[in-house]
Amino acid sequence: MLTNSNKVALVTGANTGVGFQIAKALAEHGYTVYIGARNLEKGEAAAIQIGGKSKAIQLDITDTSSISSAVLAIDREVGYLSLLVNNAAISTAGIPGRTMEEVLAAQHASIAPIDEMKTVWETNVFGTLAVTQAFLGLLRKAPSARIVTVSSALGSLNLNANPANPYRSAYDVVYGASKTALNGVFLSLANELEGSSIKVNLVSPGFTATALNNFQGTDTVEEGSAEPIRVALSEDLPNGVFTGPVSFSGADQIVPW
């Protein structure tokens, strides 16, 4: 068994927001943490802020060569990976500078531009799976390993089918449905890896004020990061569970699919 002092984590999209908070918590608990960032300079600035055994690594999860280079770098430097946190995501590919309400109004199923939908899904679904597939070899080299994917309760079909859910009007086909697809992909992976040395978990941060929603969420980034941090640090959770803050998921913190 590895101690925290020799566990290695990679957090995608870790130079800001929830990803930054997760990386910071892991570093504070002794992990070596790779700060995945599309812009290496921003990743390096985040690593300086985080301190500990953190280091920036250039990683664009939609770029095959970027993913391959990151895998080779981590393999060369440490040779394994204990924890992969899939955090990188985007919420829209439309006109920048819009309010959350304007974005949601433009992303209803009846009018959403298909090219914008494809762009968001390319990051949130296909890119997230691509980076996971690429790092499975290094995860298998650890005595035990985990994959934690930051999803959203907004992607829950059960919650969005419930008329009593006050947030169901925000379920759009661009971002919200991308999280539904993400949940399905990683539930499939959890089933595939069941009984192996790798556990797969999904987690919702709740309605957090980040760049994803033009900083209009109701929770601070520290509040919204609490559950993702708990899951990232927890090694005894069952494989294949989807959890969220109590406000979204109830006392057992399980989010319905």
181-214 pLDDT, tens per residue? 999 999 999 999 999 999 999 999 966 545 554 4
Mean pLDDT score of the chain: 91
Which two three-digit tokens encode residue 96? 């920048």
Average pLDDT, stretch 231-244?
A: 96
**What is the mean predicted confidence (pLDDT) over 88-101?**
85
Q: How far is CA 189 from CA 25, 194, 220, in A?
A: 26, 8, 31
Q: Is the pLDDT of residue 94 over 80?
A: no
Q: What is the predicted pLDDT for the residue at 105?
A: 87
In the chain, what percentage of residues exceed pLDDT 70?
92
Say if CB 242 and CB 151 are below 8 A apart: yes
Domains of the chain: 4-249 (3.40.50.720)
Both tokens assigned to 40? 């290496």
- Pairwise CA distance, residues 10 & 86, whole Å: 8
Distance CA(220)–CA(21), nearest Å, equals 11
What pLDDT score does 136 carry?
A: 98
Which pLDDT belongs to residue 1? 59
Report pTM: 0.93
pLDDT at 95: 83
Contact by Cβ (8 Å): 229, 25: yes
Q: Whose CA is closest to 210, among 194, 198, 228?
A: 228
> So what's the pLDDT on residue 3?
78
- What span, in angstroms and rounded, lies between the C-alpha atoms of 83 and 204? 18
Distance of CA 210 to the CA centre of its chain: 13
Confidence of residue 167 (pLDDT cuts 50, 70, 90): confident
Percent of the chain whose predicted confidence (pLDDT) is above 90: 77
